Structure 1
Amino acid sequence: MIRKLFAALAVVASATAVADERPTHVFMAGDSTMSIKHVKDYPETGWGVPFAYFFDEGIAVDNRARNGRSTRTFIEEGIWQGIVDELQAGDYVIIQFGHNDQSEHKKDRYTPPETYQANLKRFIADVKKAGASPLLMTPVTRRYFNDQGQIEPTHNGYDQLVREVAEQTGVFFVDMEAVTRAYFTDMGDELSKLRFMHIGPDLHPNYPIGVTDDTHFNHLGAREVAQLVLSELKKQQHPLAKRLRVPDPKHLRQ
């Protein structure tokens, strides 16, 4: 009897230890500019992919972003509820939508402005209720240069709607639309093109006739955008900026 009791206590203690070892989770809620891609889409890459490798072993980045999703469809398809069900106190959730919400001609994903803001506020409230921390971001820029060599805003004011929600709720906020637009504008047309999905015909098996896409990043563009996110976290002294992986000593040698 005593042995059975000790065995049962050992099982409970083991389960508790496993639970205590759960890393802090960083959930990513967003669209194709952030998401993990299928092999058939490579070299298209969401910035959430390289971002996941910045942190120490106590941080687990869980990228739930999906291609073509708006705040509305993210909720309707149950993707958001999946995050809520797994959230624990101390976790983080990065929230970045807008590309699909503002696409009024795409009825399957379009979200009216007032609903878009309401959905963002719902996300924030759900995260806070779980004792976790939301990180709200404007959508990243598209790459459309005007005759003056400046990248034009293309989100039809939905980036400003995010700024308003950030001000109203007081959550941690990164204006990635402004950051990426300035970054790629300074780079110029030709160099910035190398960061997006521009591939000529007969150069890649996934795109035999080529592709010209000024919305989605390739590997290089995704990595640089992820680095921009990290730079903003450092500037604003976000707690995640203190949880970076320790570099290999050989990378510190000169």
Structure 2
Amino acid sequence: MHSSCLISLALTFGALAAPGPTSFVLIGDSTTANGTSLNSGGWGNGFCASLSSGTPCINTARNGASTGSFVANGFWDAAIAAIKAEVGVGRRTLATIQFGHNDQKIAGPESMGKNLTSMVQQIRALGGEPVLLTSLTRRSFNSDGTINDTLQPWATETMTVASQTQTRLLDLHKTSIKYCEAIGPPYCHVLNKSPDDNTHLNEKGSTVFGRMVADLLVGSVPSTELPIITNAALSYNISHGIPSFYS
């Protein structure tokens, strides 16, 4: 049944038509951040690895961050500085924003929504292009094989902000749930940072979900405008609900 998943071991790469100068600034919590400790690890590394050589991909996401603490602890200032610098040298600068995991712990969705709206407005004022992402799913399953989802209200709030501010939206929450339910718990947990960590990603998980983000972006922006390297085998696995990297 899953013999075709072996195609993930033979990754097929091919460059798209050359885009103009583009850069990326990633903003979010530990499910975007580069994994540097046990309780961390997101899709950021995998996404940055999907870009053409020399494309700036600046990951300012931080472990434990909510939309409020990201600003209060100075990480927003770092993201703003990166956006200013990239816009200043004439690059089209896409700034991805993904929160929810930690906002969920401290306040209702509307609080996060106000903060997201402010972030979108500030990025636009700098000449950057905000891209809102709904939260990467946690990989906790019910007994029937469905995801035990508690993040949907925060995903819905992100979608509301995207609609109200006319901001590009990537529904990572919905797409990651669909994929995890398709491949099932054993294959999905291969992507965990540690066996019992259903939130953070190991290197394989970052590759899979980073590619998922890249594919969602390609579906939202004309592919010739993006410096994204294709990985047809992995994209096929994701879109067809086939596990990767499980051996």
Give the TM-score, by structure 2 length.
0.76
- Structure 2 matches for 1:153-192, cutoff 5 A? 153-155=149-151, 157-192=153-188
CA distance in 2, matches of 1:150, 1:240: 36
Tell me if the contact between 1:26 and 1:91 (Cα under 8 Å) persists in the aligned partners: yes
Structure 1 ranges of 4+ moved more than 6 A = none
From 72, 76, 85, the equivalent of 1:76 is 72
CA distance in 1, matches of 2:129, 2:222: 11
AA aligned opposite 1:27: V
Instruction: Give the aligned partner of residue 197 of structure 1.
Output: 193
CA distance in 2, matches of 1:150, 1:96: 23
RMSD of the alignment, in Å? Answer: 2.1
AA aligned opposite 1:29: I
AA aligned opposite 1:41: L
Instruction: Give the aligned partner of residue 25 of structure 1.
Output: 23
Q: Which moved more, 1:61-70 or 1:189-198?
A: 189-198
Instruction: Give the aligned partner of residue 151 of structure 1.
Output: 147
**Residues 80-131 of structure 1: CA deviation (Å, up to 9, x unaligned):** 122223323321110000000001xxxxxx2443221111001100110011
Tell me if the contact between 1:140 and 1:180 (Cα under 8 Å) persists in the aligned partners: yes
**Residues 7-53 of structure 1: CA deviation (Å, up to 9, x unaligned):** xxxxxxxxxxxxxxxx6431111111111222x539x6321012112
Give the TM-score, by structure 1 length.
0.74
Larger radius of gyration: 1
Instruction: Name the SS for the 2:181 alignment partner.
Output: helix
Tell me if the contact between 2:25 and 2:82 (Cα under 8 Å) persists in the aligned partners: no
Distance 1:238 1:129, change over 3 A: farther
Structure 2 residue runs without a partner (length 5+) = 1-20, 232-247
Identical-pair percentage: 29
From 94, 97, 101, the equivalent of 2:96 is 94
Structure 1 residue runs without a partner (length 5+) = 1-22, 104-109, 200-211, 248-254
CA distance in 2, matches of 1:67, 1:121: 21
Instruction: Give the aligned partner of residue 41 of structure 1.
Output: 38
AA aligned opposite 2:174: A
AA aligned opposite 1:146: N
